[in-house]
Structure 1
Amino acid sequence: MTDTLVRRPYTPKVAVERLRQGDVGAWPVVGGLIAIAIVFSTLNDRFLSPENLTNLVLQMAATGTIALGIIMVLLLGEIDLSAGSVSGLCATIMTIVHVKQGWNPLLAILLALAVGAAIGFLHGLMLTKLRMPSFVVTLAGLMGWLGLLLYLLRQGGTINLPFTGFISKLSDTWLPGWLAWTLAAGLVAVSAGASLVVRRLRLAAGLPVTPLWWSLAKAGGLAVLLAAAVTVMSADRGVPLLLIIFGALVVLLDLMLRHTTFGRHLYAVGGNAEAARRAGINVTRIRILAFMLASTLTAAGGILAASRLSAVNQGSGGSDILLMAIATAVIGGTSLFGGRGRAYDALLGVLVIQAISNGMYLLSVDSSVRFMVTAAVLALAVAIDSLARRGAAR
């Protein structure tokens, strides 16, 4: 069994063991981000400016949220090609019932999320009950849900959201400085407190624990990162609400994956479905729930995208959104082969993707080059994943 399944504490010793096995973790992504920052800031001094970094954060929220959904199915060793269409369809349904039918915006958002969950439930049933490959199920979903979106928008093609309405304000709300610093301090305190509580419980149970200095070092590192982020964004318009929403989703999903029965079972099914079944895990239930959660997160990403655009149209959820979401998950470190990945992979991956796109935009580089560079980074991430699996097997 892997370290993830037996829940060994992550210590420097464990990190060295994983490196020897070929599992490099998130270090290549972190190194890549540092290299990207150095290269683009050298070529254009606006890249690391507060205004540009704040814009980068706004750009990554929707794609990153959809990537969280992609991670859920990748952990099973499956794929979801319908994510883009589902995000556009759910955002369109939300906009229609809010603008055309006069629904309360919160109810419209809840309806969109419920539609996403229902679509995921249907995909999960087709996968588990009809034994259809996820590739075929979601490929059909890609075309079918896109067709439904076009049908709903057939009369006008575009529906605008009120610029001063609640939904549009999601992407145009900035936290005051005192609140941003309070949230950052609270997150550090909760993270440190949770580590100490887990350490005490493991000691009481006679299990190996993370050294105290390592827990404190991680809390200190988190404090430095959050302080830097708040300082930079406060120099512009402030910390955007979109970042808080995306960050909260990442943290909640990470807690669910690491500290709930469903999360442990999800890793087990992705690692070896037959072994999980023999261990008494309801594999069908786990797969259906994973697809439901994936489509719900995809719907949330569509809502955030519609909020930033203040409209939905026939291109909602289209273009390269699906490809970028899948690339985000894989580049962040989630394995295409199932059983390995974290919620924070979406955050790391979307930072890489958006930083590359943003830097090339500042340099006025043609979009064709951007696609080729992104493809090269994706291929490198998959190669690292394959080498990690080969090393683990040895």
Structure 2
Amino acid sequence: MTLTTDRQDERLQGGIGGAVADVLERARGGDLGMIPVVVGLVVIWTVLQILNPIFLSSANLVNLLLDLSAIGIVALGIVCVLLVGQIDLSVGSVGGFSGAVLAILFVTKGWPVWAAIPITVAGGAVIGWIYAQLFNRFGVPSFVITLAGLLTFLGLQIYVLGTKGAVNLPFDSGLVNFAQLDFVPPWLSYALVIAASAWLFVTGYLHASERRKANLSARGLSTLVIRSAALLVGLGFVVWYLNQTRGVGWLFMLFLAMVLVMHYLLSRTKWGRAVYAIGGNVEAARRAGINVKAVYTSVFVLCSTFAAVGGILVAARLAAANQSNGTGDFNLNAIAAAVIGGTSLFGGRGTAFGALLGMIVIQSISSGLTLLSLDSSIRYVVTGIVLLLAVVVDSIARKSRTSHGRA
């Protein structure tokens, strides 16, 4: 372990070249990180662009980002549950039920939307808390609990919507406008890019300073500057390209903000370290003094809460809550996005950014095949193959890490 750490420290001090060497070394050890999904995304985009030049147009990418955002939020919750080695199969039904509850409170009961949304989201949190109690107190497997939840909340969704089967949301409501028509002003989008680049540099500099004070290796100033400049140029180009048409939707900005918050919680907090520890070895985590039951409760609550938020936004995108919301590929896409994005089904490995990349992959397949006028059955087949490949890569990497660790 000491030898490995020393080598990592040497590479860290070696600037950009050292960082690249560190990535390659970790990849040889089975820690592939985001490499497979990034490579897969490049291949998918290249093929779809060759087949239809409209695919990478600004207008299509704007729609793509809006379409993936709602279910992407749900995928964030799935990442949390998978990190502790559990699963939630009911996110689709919880999302559909939450959208139905929101529609009834807002449209039928006449509640203001600012009151209906918190109540609905709180209901999602309660669902997750109930799951956690069944898991912690009675030891019921999460697979069984959430499968029962899938059926229960699907039935409740149908019951709440009643004989009409659908409730339309007002097109002029703030919620529908937020999900469909509201976009970040161009000047603000560029300002946010500059702020993100500056934030990356400042936080990196402060972190490096803390490591140097503790006599540990740290990234050099040149590395920090190059990294921040690369982010500035990359994000700046993306924003400029999207602004050629409608720009960056506020719905996608909400999803991105939630990804950043979850990334911070998972990578920079005691709770996040506990989540990874439990996913790696629950018994070792328990002996280390981690309140395992509390962490399980937190991830189940987060997952159901995000499912409720996603369900509300799906209804807002459609301007309606109906019996099909939350069914079909809602559930499958949320889980598939987390796995395709690099979150291990075995627990202990994954990131919040994996949900973002996984959803981009899935929505790219859906958008590209739609532009090619192919049947939806093809989309299911292709998505299933990509999901299977992601799990195969994860299994191979896991075996490689095990053998590398023994060596």
TM-score in terms of structure 2 length: 0.93
Letter of the 2:79 counterpart:
I
| Partner residue, 2:133 | 125
The yes-or-no answer on 1:325 pairing with 2:334 is yes
**1:249-283 CA distances to partner (integer Å, 9 max, x unpaired)?**
00000001011111110111111000000000000
Q: Which residue number corresponds to residue 26 of structure 1?
A: 34
Which of residues 277, 285, 292 in structure 2 aligns to 1:276?
285
Cα separation, 2, equivalents of 1:379 and 1:352 = 14
The aligned residue for residue 163 of structure 1 is 171
Residue 343 of structure 1 aligns with an amino acid whose one-letter code is: A
Displacement, 1:376?
A: 1.0
Larger displacement relative to structure 2 (331-340 or 29-38): 29-38
- Please give the secondary structure, in 2, of the residue aligned with 1:174: coil
> Of the candidates 326, 329, 349, which is equivalent to residue 358 of structure 2?
349
2:191 is matched with 182
Task: Tell me whether 1:193 sits opposite 2:206 in the alignment.
Answer: no
Corresponding letter in the other structure for 2:161: L
TM-score (norm 1): 0.96
State the Cα deviation string for residues 181-240 of structure 1 (Å, max 9, x = none): 111111121122111111111222233323433333332222222112211211111211
Q: Is the CA contact (8 Å cut-off) linking 1:170 and 1:304 kept in structure 2? A: no
Contact kept? 1:11, 1:210, Cα under 8 Å: no
Which of residues 303, 307, 310 in structure 2 aligns to 1:301?
Answer: 310
- State the match for 1:376 in structure 2: 385
Alpha-carbon deviations, 1:97-147, whole Å to 9, x = none?
111222221221111110111000001111111100010000000000111
Given candidates 221, 233, 245, the residue that maps to 1:236 is 245
Tell me how far apart the structure 1 counterparts of residues 70 and 284 of structure 2 sit (CA, whole Å): 36
Structure 1 distance, partners of 2:291, 2:203, is 30
Divergent runs of 4+, >6 A: 7-10
CA distance in 2, matches of 1:311, 1:322: 19
Any idea what SS the aligned residue of 1:318 has?
Answer: coil
Q: Partners of 2:215 and 2:110 in 1: how far apart?
A: 58
Give the root-mean-square deviation of aligned CA atoms.
Answer: 1.7
Aligned to 1:226: 235
Equivalent residues of 1:11, 1:211 under 8 A apart: no
Q: Gaps (5+ residues) in structure 1? A: none
**How far, CA to CA, are the matches of 2:308 and 2:149 in structure 1?**
14
* TM-superposition CA deviations, 1:2-54 (whole Å, max 9, x none): x9xxx997933432221111221111211111112211111111111111111
Amino acid in the other structure paired with 1:63 = I
CA offset at residue 84 of structure 1? Answer: 0.2
Report SS of the residue matched to 2:215: coil
Deviating more after overlay: 232-241 vs 329-338: 232-241
Amino acid at match of 1:62: A
Q: Hey, what's the Cα distance between the residues in 2 that align with 1:326 and 1:332? A: 10
1:140 maps onto 2:148 in alignment: yes
The farther-off stretch of 220-229 and 205-214 is 205-214
Shift of 1:173: 0.3
One-letter amino acid of the counterpart of residue 110, structure 1: P
AA matched with 1:18: R
- Look up the match of 2:70: 62
Render the CA deviation track for 1:53-94: whole Å, top value 9, x for unaligned: 111111110111110011010001111000000111112111
Name the CA distance, whole Å, in 2 between partners of 1:137 and 1:210: 46
After alignment, is 35-44 or 246-255 more displaced?
35-44
Q: Which moved more, 1:199-208 or 1:152-161?
A: 199-208
1:152 and 2:181 matched: no
Q: Distance in 1 between matches of 2:400 and 2:226?
A: 29
Give the aligned residue type for 1:99.
Answer: V
Distance 1:150 1:211 in 2: 58
The residue number in structure 2 matching 1:44 is: 52
Could you tell me how far apart the structure 1 residues matched to 2:298 and 2:395 are? 27
Matched, 1:86 2:94: yes
**Tell me, what secondary structure is at the counterpart of 2:138?**
coil
Q: Which amino acid aligns with 1:328?
A: A
Count of residues in correspondence between the two structures = 390
Provide the identity percentage.
Answer: 45
User: 2:323 pairs with 314, 318, 324, which one?
Assistant: 314
